[in-house]
Structure 1
Amino acid sequence: MSALPHSLTIGDLAARTGLAVSAIRFYETHGIVKPVRNAGGHRRYGRADIRRLSFAMIAQRLGFPLSEIAAHLTALPDHRAPSRADWTRISDGFRSQIDARIGELERLRDKLDGCIGCGCLSLASCALYNPEDRVAARGPGPRLVLDPD
């Protein structure tokens, strides 16, 4: 494929996104961006790749694994800016997961002070939050935080 019109070098893309060149190459190996090669064999990126990389950086900061981010981005068209409909489709996929994470964080925030405040730090022996270890029946792990009330 020939170079894109209004293409960016990897250095240009690094300057625009704040990513190191090596990070951009890493994202490339995961299919987040797909450069084309010019006649000299150099990578050229489209302006839409700024959005792709920015989205990936934000989603990673929110704790989404790169494989999941890449899977969502494969639905976007290559070498053109995504449309509003494209982004809506992706955001719908993330919205329910983000809402669930917000709920988990709120439960953790609301219960953390009490647990640390009592000093026992053990939900198995805490008479306040988990008398007689009743929560064990709901499964392993921190069920009081993970499970909605």
Structure 2
Amino acid sequence: MRASPEDQLTIGEVTRRTGVPASALHFYERKGLIFSERAGRNQRIFSRHMLRRISLIMVAKRLHIPLSDVAEVFAGLPVDRAPTHRDWQRVSRRWKKQLEERRRVLERLENELTGCIGCGCLSMKACLLLNPDDTLQGRGPGPVRLQQSSVALE
């Protein structure tokens, strides 16, 4: 018999299939990332299509994507049925935009860090960390110029 996305799985089966502990599944459910129903003896049962959501949560965790971002993307998916190919494409496009923006921010940070470490302050006019006589203290804490350049680029 072929598995259907609508098949029901117990929490034990989901744990065995995904390697995710039951406590984490409960947590994801409280966060609205996955959903279950109650069967006899008040046992949680999950639609098989929740396995894909759980897998994507695991990938997002490896990429250090906050669960709030995952929830935002998952909000566009149906919970009462298996998402269609079109549903997943829509979510994928949205997530791709977020990942591209994250990549741009990381590249900017890498360039700033490389520049700051490697410059040796040879360019006292271009250095974003330069703050002679602490004249920038009134504009806030930290490397004010560096923070402002990051905000301006976003």
Preserved CA contact (<8 Å) 1:7 1:45: yes
Percent identical residues: 37
Pair 141,64 (structure 1): closer, same or farther in 2 beyond 3 Å: farther
Distance 2:65 2:145 in 1: 23
Code of the residue aligned with 1:130 in structure 2: it is L
Q: Which residue is 2:55 aligned to?
A: 54
Q: Which residue is 1:109 aligned to?
A: 110
2:153 maps to 1:148:
yes
Post-superposition CA distance 1:15-71 (Å, at most 9, x none): 222211100000011111111111221111111111011112323443443233223
Number of matched pairs: 138
Preserved CA contact (<8 Å) 2:29 2:35: yes
Q: Which residue is 2:44 aligned to?
A: 43
Pair 112,71 (structure 1): closer, same or farther in 2 beyond 3 Å: closer
Structure 2 gaps of 5+ residues are 132-138
Pair 119,85 (structure 1): closer, same or farther in 2 beyond 3 Å: same
Distance 1:111 1:131 in 2: 10
Q: TM-score, normalised by structure 2?
A: 0.71
Q: Which residue is 2:26 aligned to?
A: 25
Preserved CA contact (<8 Å) 2:128 2:146: no
Q: How large is the Cα RMSD of the aligned pairs?
A: 3.1
